[in-house]
Structure 1
Amino acid sequence: MSISRRDLVGASGLALLGAAAVSGRVQAQSIPEAPTTTANTMQPPLYPTSGPDYQPVVTLNGWTLPWRQNGDWKEFHLVAEPVEREIAPGMTARLWGYNGQSPGPTIEAVEGDKVRIFVTNRLPEHTTIHWHGQILPCGMDGVGGLTQPHIKPGKTFVYEFQLMKSGTFMYHPHADEMVQMAMGMMGFFVVHPRDPRQHRVDRDFVFLLSAYDIEPGAYVPKVAEMLNFNMWTWNSRVFPGIDPLVVAKGDRVRVRVGNLTMTNHPIHMHGYDFEVTCTDGGWVRPEARWPEVTIDIPVGAMRAYEFDAIHPGDWAIHCHKSHHTMNAMGHGIRNFIGVDKKQFAGRMKRLVPDYMPMGSAGMADMGEMEMPLPDNTLPMMTGFAQFGAVEMGGMFSVVKVREGIGSKDYRDPGWYQHPPGTVAWEWKGPQPAVTRAPTPARTDRSGTPPARVVKPSSHDSHK
């Protein structure tokens, strides 16, 4: 799939930039141009125009890196650099990534391909790239100091290897990992089967899990944070900024999820059960696949699952750790449920006229309020749909299954129009009688229940 400069700009609106200084045996004039983008929405997939056929992946809020054919080699160019990423409308983070984005563009190729990947470093410190899960020569594994020299700022290194197996892999630095991965340096590497009939699906989605601690008003993540993150992201986006997964009814769908956060994530999808079909170790044999509605993604791992899209609707997909579907959390928030704050609120309003007491009956009211926020942050719970506030954030999106969607159409179809009589409704008839549970027996201070007094029955009184 060779893409010219004109084709690339015309097809996907990506800008092109040249390479930096070069280190090693490859000369500057032989380096492919490095496409870059700052778009925050999902870009159309790149369909193959030559070579083996495959169904390309769709990167959630992301894109696929174009390549050029040079003899037997497919050549790619990654540029490690500072980037700005819109986490959701209203908040931007200053991260590190590749080719203008964090995460970087998805690399796609085919089993058996020989790939040559140029990596230019425009960071203020050295870096490397590790090809997570790939089988390759040791000297191409990308561990700084162990298997290669570090890539110094302004230098370009070359990685060359043949793709030994199909599957889903990742790329990320193996140099100053605490900083570089915490700043957003990561990406997907998808290798399709050589036989296009093998593991074929109609739609194939990929996204990476990452987490950041960015204080309100700040732009740069805390790189030394290990536990208290406040932005749980899919491809460095949070709800409501995460694109929906648009699916045609009847499609066979694959969802590939990689986890480069510091905790596991149980990804749950509503409306369906599915089969786990792939890990970053390889494909799961058909007889070994297992059914789930929630699949736990361990740290540093990938899981892929598949389902047949037979149930139309707007089906939620999210991490099932409840704090991971929230934004800008304050970890010192106290619990005021059940607290009567009327007198306190009256006194506070004398000092702060705009003071609003909240939390006495839960936090749901925050989902509908549009309060002024500090600069560059997001509401803790947000988002609206056709029935009101969604009260979500973070790792949450929607799988939108519809009839009549074209095979290459990934546009948002809007909210699902439910058939009459299929939406839960308010009951306005007679209320059912309330059955109260029996009061438990009292105990004395020793913990022994008092002796039960049995009244004689009418039968006993006739004896």
Structure 2
Amino acid sequence: MTNLSRRGFLGSSGLALASGLTAGAVSGRAAFAGVPEAPTMADAATQPPLTPTTGPDYQPVATLNGWSLPWRMNGDWKEFHLVAEPVERELAPGMKAYLWGYNGQSPGPTIEAVEGDRVRIFVTNRLPEHTTVHWHGQRLPNGMDGVGGLTQPHIPPGKTFVYEFQLRRSGTFMYHPHSDEMVQMAMGMMGFFVVHPKDPAFRRVDRDFVFLLNAFDIEPGAYVPKVNTMLDFNLWCWNSRVFPGIDPLVVGRNDRVRVRFGNLTMTNHPIHMHGYEFRVSCTDGGWVDPAAAWDEVSIDCAVGQMRAFDFVADEPGDWAIHCHKSHHTMNAMGHSVKTYIGVDQKELAKRIRKLTPGYMPMGATGMGEMGSMEMPLPDNTLPMMTGFAQFGPVEMGGMFSVVKVREGLAKNDYKDPGWFKNPEGTVAFEYQGQLPAPARAAPPGADAPAWRVKDPRKPVSGAQGQARPPAGGHSGH
């Protein structure tokens, strides 16, 4: 696995553990001798799936701009080690953020296991405050549920706790803190948890992609998110990445494909994929019975929910996949930017250029021009719309990627194949013929004055020119 540091990750036996119904602390040199090393990851690119070499067979997942956490077997236990720690994450080329995460990244690594596995997860806290881990959607003993103060003590800085439980059902899950939750999730602490079916043939696909929806409010030039933001986020992410930093979903033609995602933002996201209809196959509540599955081209995912859909990739091409809230496919949005559509700024621009040479008025005809402009930006921020493809600027950002369906890909080939070579005659083109003059409504006449903007602060004149009170008649209020 590229840039994966296993830091030893050696098998060991004879662990000194606090077993029982409550997550237990590990302390002392003798106990730590039995704790598996914690792998870490520095690369923000999608890593190859972690194919199992022992135990039950399953199709491993590909974590978009992420990786899966290696484990070791210790007797009957599958052991993982998560380290909660400050991390530096590149959101897209040209912008980094100082976040909190696990094992070197935000989100943390995906945990993969099999229905029936007994998992033992060590969690070491290297944050400046206490934390816990909640295993979202899992059935487990109450004391392993990870709610600080309610089901377990908080994990203090510098301490390691152990979670032990058996995976009772397969499906699509996630993990995140339940300790100073608002701050820690706003700082990027979360990760995917996939439990594969015990039967390798059950609902099997050829490629299985996972990612989490998260969001940050980071001012231009800053590096740390504003954790108190409730709604006005300016960076909408998949796995703490924004377009054009989000990798494509690369699949072979006729592959059976599953896409799984979970939502840890503060609003819902209708995820739309071009070119296909798909079948909703799974939620964090369980698998959807095939007889009850339904066809969609967009599926909404509310806060705290997880969704998965399946399709057969039988249409080659570069197919967009994105959130259908248009503000969620933009970067570094300024929510107080004025609208200048239809405003003639030529004379104003001349005056401003006398004070600020090089000033460029924008927005009079829309914002599409921003996609092709390369203007100076403050340090550590991104254009609102960015990214180029074979036909020009894509004019997107945020929650946007591309499903790249290609002929002849090897089973484990996830490399970006470049842009799709469209067969001749299959690209939209400019019409070169003559067009008849379009029929339009007649312009306003003398008896139909043109629309104009009224100043609501000024009174409306009556028939004799006297000032008329506003609607409602309460002129003195």
User: What is the aligned length?
Assistant: 432
Give the whole-Å Cα distance in 2 for the aligned partners of 1:73 and 1:12.
Answer: 26
Q: Is the 8 A contact 2:386 2:394 kept in 1?
A: yes
1:23 counterpart residue number: 25
Could you tell me which of 235, 239, 262 is aligned with 1:258? Answer: 262
Counterparts of 1:282-431 in structure 2 under 5 Å?
282-431=286-435
Counterparts of 1:132-151 in structure 2 under 5 Å?
132-151=136-155
SS of 1:205's partner is: strand
Residue type matched to 2:221 in 1?
Answer: G
Give the whole-Å Cα distance in 1 for the aligned partners of 2:234 and 2:2.
Answer: 33
2:191 counterpart residue number: 187
Give the whole-Å Cα distance in 1 for the aligned partners of 2:308 and 2:90.
Answer: 26
Q: In the superposition, relative to structure 1, how do residues 340 and 133 fare at CA in structure 2: closer, same or farther (>3 Å)?
A: same
TM-score (norm 2): 0.89
1:113 and 2:117 correspond? yes
Provide, for residues 300-338 of structure 1, a one-character-per-residue CA deviation record: whole Å limited to 9, x for no partner: 010000000000000000000000000001111000000
1:12 and 2:2 correspond? yes
Q: Is the 8 A contact 2:329 2:396 kept in 1?
A: yes
1:213 counterpart residue number: 217
Residue type matched to 1:12 in 2?
Answer: T
SS of 2:240's partner is: coil
SS of 1:191's partner is: strand
TM-score (norm 1): 0.91
Give the whole-Å Cα distance in 2 for the aligned partners of 1:315 and 1:75.
Answer: 38
Give the whole-Å Cα distance in 1 for the aligned partners of 2:246 and 2:258.
Answer: 18
1:46 counterpart residue number: 50
Provide, for residues 414-437 of structure 1, a one-character-per-residue CA deviation record: whole Å limited to 9, x for no partner: 000000000000011111331224
SS of 1:108's partner is: strand
Give the whole-Å Cα distance in 2 for the aligned partners of 1:24 and 1:193.
Answer: 31
Residue type matched to 1:16 in 2?
Answer: R
1:175 counterpart residue number: 179
SS of 1:377's partner is: coil
2:41 counterpart residue number: 37
Residue type matched to 2:25 in 1?
Answer: S
Counterparts of 1:54-203 in structure 2 under 5 Å?
54-203=58-207
Instruction: Report the alpha carbon displacement of residue 17 of structure 1 after superposing the two structures with TM.
Output: 4.2
Give the whole-Å Cα distance in 1 for the aligned partners of 2:398 and 2:50.
Answer: 28
Instruction: Report the alpha carbon displacement of residue 16 of structure 1 after superposing the two structures with TM.
Output: 3.4
Provide, for residues 364-414 of structure 1, a one-character-per-residue CA deviation record: whole Å limited to 9, x for no partner: 000000000000000000000000000000000000000011110000000
Listed as ranges, the gaps of 5+ residues in structure 1 are 1-10, 445-463
Instruction: Report the alpha carbon displacement of residue 146 of structure 1 after superposing the two structures with TM.
Output: 0.1
Q: In the superposition, relative to structure 1, how do residues 410 and 18 fare at CA in structure 2: closer, same or farther (>3 Å)?
A: closer
Residue type matched to 1:194 in 2?
Answer: K
SS of 2:352's partner is: helix
SS of 1:287's partner is: coil
Give the whole-Å Cα distance in 1 for the aligned partners of 2:3 and 2:418.
Answer: 24
Could you tell me which of 271, 276, 281 is aligned with 1:272? Answer: 276
Q: Is the 8 A contact 2:26 2:32 kept in 1?
A: no
Give the whole-Å Cα distance in 1 for the aligned partners of 2:441 and 2:268.
Answer: 40
The alignment yields a C-alpha RMSD, in angstroms, of 1.6
108-117 or 22-31: which moved more? Answer: 22-31
Listed as ranges, the gaps of 5+ residues in structure 2 are 10-23, 450-477
SS of 1:226's partner is: coil
SS of 1:181's partner is: helix
Give the whole-Å Cα distance in 1 for the aligned partners of 2:444 and 2:309.
Answer: 48
Runs (4 or more) in structure 1 with deviation over 3 Å come to 16-19, 22-26, 437-444
Provide, for residues 165-224 of structure 1, a one-character-per-residue CA deviation record: whole Å limited to 9, x for no partner: 000000000000010000000000000000000010000000000000000000000000
Q: Is the 8 A contact 2:3 2:43 kept in 1?
A: no
Provide, for residues 253-301 of structure 1, a one-character-per-residue CA deviation record: whole Å limited to 9, x for no partner: 0000110000000000000000000000000000110110000011001
Instruction: Report the alpha carbon displacement of residue 439 of structure 1 after superposing the two structures with TM.
Output: 7.9
Give the whole-Å Cα distance in 1 for the aligned partners of 2:426 and 2:443.
Answer: 39
Residue type matched to 1:382 in 2?
Answer: T
Give the whole-Å Cα distance in 2 for the aligned partners of 1:107 and 1:169.
Answer: 10
Provide, for residues 101-122 of structure 1, a one-character-per-residue CA deviation record: whole Å limited to 9, x for no partner: 0000000000000000000000
Percent of aligned pairs with the same amino acid:
74
Give the whole-Å Cα distance in 1 for the aligned partners of 2:246 and 2:321.
Answer: 11
Q: Is the 8 A contact 2:3 2:42 kept in 1?
A: no
1:281 counterpart residue number: 285
